[in-house]
Amino acid sequence: MADGSKETLIQAAWDLIIDTMGFGEIGRAAREPRVFDQLTASRISRRAGVTTGAFYNRWDGREDFLEDFLDYALSPERSDALGVAVEVFESAKSDDPEAQVRRVAGAALEASADDPMFTIQQYLWAMRRIRPDIAERLRHGYEGAVRAVAGIVDAYLGETGRTLRPPFSSQNAARMFIALAEGLSLQYGLQPEEEIRRLFGEALLVMLDGVTQEA
């Protein structure tokens, strides 16, 4: 039996979004453009298998709920692409760092094409001018992603024995890599060609060479 906890209800809302945006079994993205309109107390509770009362025991209303939901939805832990990048990097350690970077780039780019968090970010980006609270949450979520990618950069430096060239830091290098990844993810989503995956890996290697130096 569902417990009606905050976590259960937020996960139910996430599942509704996944289905609406076409990533789940229902997939109604093409005919439901106003994605967040469906996040009502009744729909969320029904998806979670609890009564509407369980929802109102935890939030005063929909806007109160959306604050917690957006924090959840924009957390780096929701990103399939970032999760894949970390997993591949940790599992593909070898004596060939360049091959490792290429594998991480290819896997992350492929995952980004079907990454619900990336799609939600784009949707929220379009709303940021009319909802300043959303802009702030986007900034918070982006900083979380920067920290996660910076961790991969630091691990790469540790494996290769290289250091960052001034004035670069792990964080601003991560911002450059994220910008490249997001731009190519849009193209790859429309045109999923192997050549784009290959070029992403090669571009990352060039950028890494440019921002790092022998220790």
CATH number for position 86: 1.10.357.10
The pLDDT profile of the chain, 215 residues, written as one tens digit per residue, is 467 799 999 999 999 888 877 655 443 333 444 667 888 999 999 999 999 999 999 999 988 999 999 889 989 888 988 898 888 887 766 668 888 889 999 999 998 877 888 888 888 888 888 878 888 889 998 999 999 999 999 988 988 899 999 999 999 999 999 999 999 998 998 888 999 999 999 999 999 999 999 98
Residues 11, 117 share a domain: no
- Please give the backbone phi and psi of residue 16, each rounded to the nearest 5 degrees, phi first: -65, -45
Out of 69, 84, 102, pick the residue that ends a domain: 69
Query: What are the tokens at 116?
Result: 């619900």
Q: In degrees rounded to 5, what are phi and psi of residue 9?
A: -70, -40
Cα(184)–Cα(181) distance, integer angstroms: 5
Residues 6+ apart with CB under 8 A from 65: 9, 13, 39, 41, 44, 55, 58, 59
Write the CB contacts of 206 (distance below 8 Å, at least 6 apart in sequence).
none
Q: What is the pLDDT of residue 93?
A: 65
**Torsion over CA: 18, 24, 25, 28 (sign):** positive
Same domain, 140 and 171: yes
**Residue 124, pLDDT score:** 85
Q: Are residues 156 and 200 in the same domain?
A: yes
In terms of residue numbers, what domain contains 45?
6-69
Residue 59 domain flag:
yes
Single residue among 40, 69, 98 that ends a domain in this structure: 69
CA 162 – CA 158 distance, rounded (Å) = 7
pTM metric for this prediction: 0.82
User: What residue type is 100 in one-letter code?
Assistant: Q
Dmax over CA atoms of the chain, in Å, equals: 61
Residue 1 lies in a domain: no
End-to-end CA distance of the chain: 57
Where helices occur in 21-131 by DSSP H, the ranges are: 41-48, 52-56, 62-73, 80-91, 97-112, 116-125
Output the pLDDT for position 38. Answer: 80
Residue 162 maps to a domain: yes
Compute the residue count for the chain.
Answer: 215
Distance CA 14, CA 68 (A): 12
CB distance 181 to 80 below 8 Å: no
The pair of three-digit structure tokens given for residue 145, joined into one six-digit string: 């992603």
Number of folded domains that form the chain:
2
